[in-house]
Chains A and B, each alone.
Chain A
């Protein structure tokens, strides 16, 4: 009988939903590859500049629009100009004996700035925009959606009608107006985009909560005399987390696309700052003569979007979220 008891036990021992999701996610090789690549891109953008000798904003008018791999001979003045110290310079050159040459791996732009350094800096800006705006959208959307879904009835009706009305507004236009309002303030651009993107999140969370709030385990919690706040955070939020994570992952690339579009129009990030959008704009203008100006930033940008979308899809399958739409 011992063997049979074990068999029963084995069939009953459950795995948590998260463990299950993790196992499914690991089997999706493409999603895992995308997550690894994404981590790589993030690290490159934020840590790479430490290993790059060029400052993204320093121009060298003698080396305008040089192709990838061009060498530049450095003087002490230009070294310091690019952010090095005089001490480092002495160390490198053994007291001025060795002339120093460094390569522009991605070439230089039309003002002689190093494209690699600019691409990395642009990546920082684009990724930050994506993350911060998504975070803003997440906070507003979850709070609003959860409140509406939990309240139910008339309150829910009015709150959702408001969301519907807002969704019908031509938002790109308002984003453009907002960004001109807060000219040259990057943080406010993030906030403006985030304030626009929360609507879908609110709808998703509200639908989930509405479904859950009517389920037995919430009634059970209520009948035990738990506070509404505690019920929301202990019983409902964990169940809503799946769709929220999935949708947030898919919002990041959408926001990045929006930012890049604005920057492309000259309405987003302002010079001398750069984002992938402004770099691509620059590259598109010059692509007939200087292809590298378009290719490198576009490649980074598209690869990042690709990875984010695939990772989001993988998460959706793994967490078994039905559809991020309604």
Chain B
């Protein structure tokens, strides 16, 4: 199982690095959206500080949505997904490896870039640190929950829109607690409770998503 996980994980990273433009799309989208907001709402420091966590989280969430289509669709189209379903290893292991690679290529770069972007919103260092932590814990959940929707809509016409409709209600609690952590810290309440809730979301989705996604993939391949 570990051999299978490593092989799929490395394969997906290799493929993403060979399709650099696709991998960069998510990052460029995140930078553009977060950079346009200060220009649009004006250079009022208090307002920017207040809305910054929400903007960064919404941009991360939309960037994750943008990348979901690439999670299974290319493998479904060229037949490698059906080959993976027949290798004699549990499909949830393969799914988990693909989700991990997806997060490394999308969620992790956004998380690492977020503190730099946050500087243009004039956020305090401790709030930037907390925002980084919420994204570090929250972005894997975006990939885990997104995988279920991507698998459920695999092969459907207009699957991208349907996928967004399916997954957005699940993303909303993440958005509330992720952005709320920085707001609570700014108000002197501390963001630990929000961070713990995000951690709980991560554990629950890590326990459920690989199996749910694998079941959805079996249906798509049938």
Are A and B a genuine interacting pair, yes or no?
no
Binding site for A on B (CB under 8 A): none
